[in-house]
Amino acid sequence: EAQLMHSQALANQRGAHEHERTTEEAVSAIQIKLEHNQSAQFSGKLHAPKELQDLQSEQIALEKRRKELEEEQINAMLVMEEAVVVTSQAEANLAEAEQKSASHLSLLRGEQTTLQADFEKSNTERQAILASIPGSLADSYEKLRSQKKGLAVTVISDESCAACGSSLTPAECQAARSPTLINYCPSCGRILYAG
């Protein structure tokens, strides 16, 4: 968003600068024409009253147009000044947003490094635990884990399965406390753990 606002401010500033430049050139062109007409008027080369009258009429029209263009030029300068202020604010906002983004990215990279280390540690512990479990039970666990989107074991919370929320009978809760038997939730089929 800050980049978009900065790009828009730059485009507006370029447009204002171009408008200011074209009005300045138009005023200069009229000024040159006025000076040329004035020198022609006072040079003594024009003798016909019609030519002098046409030149004076053109002079009046040019003066009027010059005043209009000078007014437009002043407005263009004001617009340009405002565009410069808006662009500088957009540049400051962009710099601040980039700094925040870089800081946030640095924090995320640090968090990613910590999570990666935790993952590797947990994976090492998992492999050690899986090695101590009989192969058939480990295979059943892995199969259940793949079927249940990574959650094969669930705890009992308030006499309910924490994964699916299904109510459990007191006998099912008691059976889940057995260290030798594996008990499954009758609703979702996950392994129940009573703690």
Task: Tell me the three-class secondary structure of the chain, residue by residue.
Answer: CHHHHHHHHHHHHHHHHHHHHHHHHHHHHHHHHHHHHHHHHHCCCCCCHHHHHHHHHHHHHHHHHHHHHHHHHHHHHHHHHHHHHHHHHHHHHHHHHHHHHHHHHHHHHHHHHHHHHHHHHHHHHHHHHHHHCCHHHHHHHHHHHHHCCCCCEEEEECCEECCCCCECCHHHHHHHCCCCCCCECCCCCCEEECC
Report the C-alpha gap between 144 and 167 in whole angstroms: 21
Burial of 30 (0-12, 13-18, 19+ CB in 10 A): buried
pLDDT of residue 136: 85
Report the C-alpha gap between 163 and 151 in whole angstroms: 8
pLDDT of residue 118: 97
pLDDT of residue 9: 92
Report the C-alpha gap between 182 and 176 in whole angstroms: 7
pLDDT of residue 87: 92
Q: pTM for the complete prediction?
A: 0.48
pLDDT in 10s for each residue of the chain, 195 residues: 899 999 999 999 999 999 999 999 999 998 898 888 777 777 777 667 777 788 788 889 999 998 999 999 899 899 999 999 999 999 999 999 999 999 999 999 999 999 999 999 999 998 898 888 888 888 888 899 999 999 999 999 999 999 999 999 999 988 998 888 889 999 999 999 987
